[in-house]
């Protein structure tokens, strides 16, 4: 192997030094500045993106707080509206209930009057029917005919 031959060791070191120097110069003058520029550009881009993200995050937090405030305000307003409508409906229900109770009371009173009239009428009819039945029974039991006016006197005495 020629690399291990000590007689050519010095020229190999010389050419190694020259090759590495050329490589160093090329890297330091051409490749490394480009890489450095790309890295710097990436850092700037990342920094700008982070700054923009922070700004957007703060803006989003502000929007979220505004939305929460509006939501709370809407909730309070809806509660007020709900209570107002509930109160209106309760008043309407109360009015309708009172009207219904008045109507039912009138209907009950009217029905009671009708029942009382019917009862009185039935009682009047019953006394005349009772007189007719009593007359018929007495006529069937006795040979002598009973007068209707005698029965009327007797029934009036009973009342």
pLDDT top residue among 85 and 148: 85
pLDDT higher than 90, residue 87? yes
pTM of the model: 0.44
Q: Cβ distance 126 to 139 under 8 Å?
A: no
The token pair that represents 74 in the structure block: 């809407």
Does residue 98 sit in helix, strand or coil?
Answer: helix
Sequence-separated (6 or more) residues with CB below 8 Å from residue 138: 146, 151
pLDDT of residue 92: 96
Length of the chain: 159
Distance (Å, whole) CA 41 – CA 49: 12
State mean pLDDT over 94-119.
94
Q: For a pLDDT cut of 70, what percent of the chain falls above it?
A: 91
């Amino acid at each position: 192997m020629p690399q291990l031959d000590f007689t050519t060791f010095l020229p190999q070191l010389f050419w190694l030094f020259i090759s590495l120097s050329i490589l160093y110069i090329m890297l330091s003058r051409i490749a490394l500045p480009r890489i450095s520029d790309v890295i710097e550009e990436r850092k700037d881009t990342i920094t700008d993106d982070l700054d923009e993200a922070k700004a957007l995050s703060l803006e989003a937090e502000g929007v979220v707080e505004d939305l929460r405030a509006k939501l709370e305000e809407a909730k309070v307003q809806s509660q007020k509206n709900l209570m107002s409508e509930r109160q209106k409906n309760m008043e309407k229900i109360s009015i309708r209930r009172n009207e219904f109770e008045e109507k039912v009371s009138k209907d009950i009173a009217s029905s009671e009057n009708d029942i009382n009239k019917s009862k009185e009428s039935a009682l009047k009819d019953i006394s005349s029917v009772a007189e007719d039945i009593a007359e018929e029974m007495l006529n069937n039991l006795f040979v002598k005919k009973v007068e209707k006016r005698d029965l009327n006197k007797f029934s009036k005495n009973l009342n």
